[in-house]
Amino acid sequence: MFELINKNGVSYFRSTVLKSKHCFSTRLGGFSILDHTRGLNIAFGRGDDDETVLKNIMAIEKAIELPSGRIISVPQIHGAEVRSVTMRDAGAGVYKKAEFECDGYVTSDCGLPIGVKTADCVPILLEGRDNEGNVVAVCAVHAGWRGTASKIAKNAVEKLCSLGIRKENIYVAIGPSIDVCCYEVGVDFACEIENKLGQNYKNKFIKRNENGSLYADLKGMNFEILTSFGVPKENIDVSEKCTCCDPELFYSHRGQNGKRGAMIGVILK
Ligand SMILES: [Zn+2]
């Protein structure tokens, strides 16, 4: 279950399936004042000056009590790599220049927050536990349609398993993203999903409305990928929120025609 928390003026969602400190930020709170970024924009280079973006990120750090100055969130490239990061990378992409780009992170280091930026794409936070229920490693993934089709969610599961974590001990929160109500796609998109994920995915997660338009369910695809690679479905929490339906609460790439800020999904071991 997802809960909307308001702390120190910052509103964010958290999932009851995760033990680790984490959040899916919204646009409520923060210091951005431009029309298209108004609120809690955490993305650099979208109109806000860097100082404002940093103030917003620090407000999130404070609200969820993250160690300050360490969050990692590097430029995202719609790839499928889930990269192992350590304390040496602390602050990359936020407090210091990023020396790499990627769309997913895994870490077993304590005190190292990892975050993915989204505004319609699917943010996925995972934690892997030992048999006693202690969190061994955490993972954050940015899954747009390309990342979804390249099965970045499967790569996250594999990374956690490579650390000795059993699949039944993996817990996952799939955060707010554009939903099937708003995510109209083209025929080429449907073909790409069929090519990369198979006909079942196309049939199950791409719906045709009465006018013949196609709509895709990215959260559903990621849920299916996770369960088909062994994560128990009862361990997975899926947000019901659509980022395009609620412009007061979320930035939306589709809803704002690309001129928008971004939210962050962040987790800490
Ligand atoms: Zn919607």
Measured in Å, residue 231 CA sits from the centre of ligand 1 at 27
| CA 11 / ligand 1 centre spacing (Å) | 20
Distance (Å) from CA 222 to ligand 1 centroid: 17
Q: How far is the CA of 68 from the centre of ligand 1 (A)?
A: 34
- What's residue 265's pLDDT? 98
Instruction: Name the residue among 176, 79, 36 with its Cα closest to residue 118.
Output: 176
Instruction: Decide if 14 contacts 22 (C-beta within 8 A).
Output: yes
Longest pairwise C-alpha distance within the chain: 53
242 CA distance to ligand 1 middle (Å): 5
How many Å apart are CA 114 and CA 31, to the nearest integer? 22
Separation between Cα atoms, residue 197 and residue 222, nearest integer Å: 11
Tens-digit pLDDT string for the chain (269 aa): 999 999 989 999 999 999 999 999 999 999 999 999 999 999 999 999 999 999 999 999 999 999 999 999 999 999 999 999 999 999 999 999 999 999 999 999 999 999 999 999 999 999 999 999 999 999 999 999 999 999 999 999 999 999 999 999 999 999 999 999 999 999 999 999 999 999 999 999 999 999 999 999 999 999 999 999 999 999 999 999 999 999 999 999 999 999 999 999 999 99
Tell me the CA–centroid distance for residue 244 and ligand 1, in Å: 5
Calculate how far, in angstroms, residue 156's C-alpha sits from the geometric centre of ligand 1.
27
Residue type, 82: V
Tell me, in angstroms, the distance from the centre of ligand 1 to residue 92's CA.
33
Contact predicate 40/51, CB 8 Å: no
pLDDT in the model for residue 179: 97
User: Cβ(93)–Cβ(116) under 8 Å?
Assistant: no
Domains of the chain from N-terminus onward: 2-178+232-268 (3.60.140.10)
Distance 177 CA to ligand 1 centre (A): 9
Q: Tell me, in angstroms, the distance from the centre of ligand 1 to residue 252's CA.
A: 10
Task: Measure 179 CA to ligand 1 centroid, in angstroms.
Answer: 5
Q: What is the pLDDT of residue 187?
A: 94
Ligand 1 centroid–CA 246 distance in Å is 8
Give yes or no for a contact between 44 and 50, defined as CB atoms under 8 angstroms apart: yes
Q: Write down the residue that tokens 């849920």 correspond to.
A: 223
CA of 235 to the centre of ligand 1 (A): 25
Listing DSSP states for 57-114 in one string gives HHHHHHHTTPPTT--B-PPP-S----EE--GGGTTBTTTB--S---SEEEE--TT--E
133 Cα: distance to centroid of ligand 1 (angstroms) = 36
Distance 43 CA to ligand 1 centre (A): 22
- Beta carbons of 148 and 183 less than 8 angstroms apart: no
The rounded Å distance from CA 49 to ligand 1 centre is 30
Give the per-residue pLDDT at 20: 98
How much distance in Å is there from the Cα of 181 to the middle of ligand 1?
Answer: 4
How large is the C-alpha radius of gyration of the chain? 17
Q: Give, in order, the Cα–Cα distances in Å from 35 to each of 52, 73, 248.
A: 14, 24, 12
Q: E-assigned strands of 38-129?
A: 83-84, 104-107, 114-118, 122-129
The rounded distance, in Å, linking the Cα atoms of 2 and 17 is: 9
Q: Which pLDDT does position 163 carry in this prediction?
A: 97
Determine the Cα–Cα distance for residues 85 and 236; give it in Å rounded to an integer. 24
For residue 52, the model assigns a pLDDT of 98
Give residue 140's pLDDT: 98
- Complete edge-to-edge strand list for the sheet that includes strand 184-185: 184-185, 214-216, 206-208
Query: What are residue 157's phi and psi, to 5 degrees?
Result: -60, -45
